[in-house]
Every structure is written in structure tokens, then in C-alpha cells.
Structure 1
Amino acid sequence: MSQSILRQQHGHRQTCSLHAEWITPEKFQSYGQLITPAEDGQTFNQEDAQLDLTKGTPRFYIMRLHHRGRIFHKITRHNLCTQCLGSLAGKDWFMVVAPPSAASQPDITKMAAFRIPGDCFIKLEVGTWHAGPYFGHEVVDFYNLELSDTNVVDHFTHDFLKSHNLEFEIV
């Protein structure tokens, strides 16, 4: 993995620790874009979210998530659209990503964990593997831009607990 990993045994299950780095545009570019505030009146450019929502009806909504912690064993990708996520109320959060691929599971060695401040959002490239959002707050509202049927027809998930007896913890 691109970040340090510590392995611990829990019975037969292994837990790998992923060290979360603060997100930057450069560190995140293999997975998507980091979008930060820009002055009003600027014309569209490469720093704006480069969206692909052409294969369906876009859906923009506020997703309320309750305490998620930082442990996971499933990772997902969407092949038909980009996806944008950002927290409301300035709350920081975490996302684990792996580069886009058509494989049935991501390349574990290329997984990365990011800490994302509450004053920006991320755009995931089509096919980017992602786990999250995760956070330590009790409740966080996220805005989410994807297609109206993304979670029905474009939701490919890999379960590391089933395939590798493995879970991850974001540290």
C-alpha cells in the first residue's frame, strides 16, 4: 500500500492500519480531484470539477451519516459516473481510495487514506475504488452528486473480509 501499514491479528482476521494524510490536489490526482473555493466570476477551468454525469439523471442530495468510525472491510466503485462528496458544517472526514480499474478488486498496494477538511469537496474519477466517508463525529451531513440510480445499477463492491480475511483501520 502507498501508506504505512501495521498488521494485527484478531483471531483469524487481520487488521491493516492505513495512515491518513491530509489531502492535496497532487496527492489525490490518481483518484480524482480536490475542489477548493474559488473567487466568484472565474471562468470554467481545470480546477473546477470535471464531471461525467452523461449516462443518466444526475442526483444531488444531502446524505446524513451517523458515527461511522474508521474501520472497514468493503470498498466500492462506480463505472458510469463521477461522484462528488463533501461534508457540511465544516466537519473533517476520511476517505480511502484506490485507482480506477475494471478488476473485480482494487490493487491493495495502491490504496491510500486521506483526511479531508470540511471546507472543500472531492470528485472521484469514474471507476475509482472508494471506502467512506468515515469520521469520528456523531453525525455528519454530506452533499453527494452522482446519478439517480448509481446505488442500484452501478455499485460494484469488494469485500476484503470474504476474500482475504482482512479489515482496515484508518489511523
Structure 2
Amino acid sequence: DKPTADGAIFQIIQVAVDTGIAQAAIDETVSFVRTKSRAWVDSGVDHAWEDPYTLQAVGDLTLRLHAAQAILEKAGYAIDRAVLNPNAETVAEAQIVTAEAKILSTEIAIAATNKLFELAGTRSTLAEHNLDRHWRNARTHTLHDPVRWKYAILGNYFLNGEKPPLHAWS
């Protein structure tokens, strides 16, 4: 059987969904902190958006999102190469880069949706804001394809030169 990029194509769709969830959660965090959150009593600042811990956390989340977006783009180019010239090497490269993207997108989706409430504060948990949808979306979507297996695929490839299995989940 000739290798195809089908598995990587399936996976990059999941990566894009998780990256989009992370982006939406970060956008809503920023909006809520800027318009509704209050500064912590001991922070020494007047506004929640001035809190140094909030600034650090938003910077960290945004950096991690940008890394996930960059590797998502790199995976797209690798998949393009594998589709145009399908062979064991191009398909393995597409699978590996897409697995890296899946790990990063899963991690930032979960981190961003968890941090949303910590940074936005108690009022952000009110049902009227519906912000918990981001957490539910991230947890539900990332569970069907656990990334713990991706780490093993990457390790086996980089350490032992073993190409990933050819199926939709690798």
C-alpha cells in the first residue's frame, strides 16, 4: 500500500478546532478582564487589566497560542507536500508535524479555558455569560484523541526512526 496523508489531514482538522477554541477563550478572557473584572484587593492596582499576574498569564497564553498556530501552519505545508508527493518520508513528516501541532493545540485549549475563570473572576462563571462552553468544548473535543499517545509516536520517531502508523489517529 502506498502511504497517504489521510491521517494527517484528519488530524489537522482537529488541531484547527482546538486552536480555535483556545483563541476564542483567550479573546473572551481579555474582553471580560477589560470590561467586567475587578482588581484583586491586594494587587495594588485599580483595574484588573493592570494586575501583573494577569498580564503575565495573558502573555503566556498568547505566546502558547501563537506557537500552536505556527506549528499548525507548518503542518499544513507538510501535508501539502505529502499530498503532492506521497511517499513514506513525506507522509511521515506530515504525521509528525501534525502530531506536534495536536499536542500544542490540545495543551493551549485546555490551559486557556481553565485560565479564563481564574483571570476573569467569579462573575465569569455566571450562566448568563456562557463562558464555560469553551472549557466544555476543549475537554470534550480533546478527549476523543488523547495526546498522550502522540508523545510516544514522536519519541519513537525521533529516537528510533520509527514512522508513525498509517491511520486516522496518528
Structure of larger gyration radius: 2
The TM-score by the shorter chain falls in which range? under 0.3
* Structure 1 or 2: more strand by fraction: 1
Greater fraction of residues in helix: 2
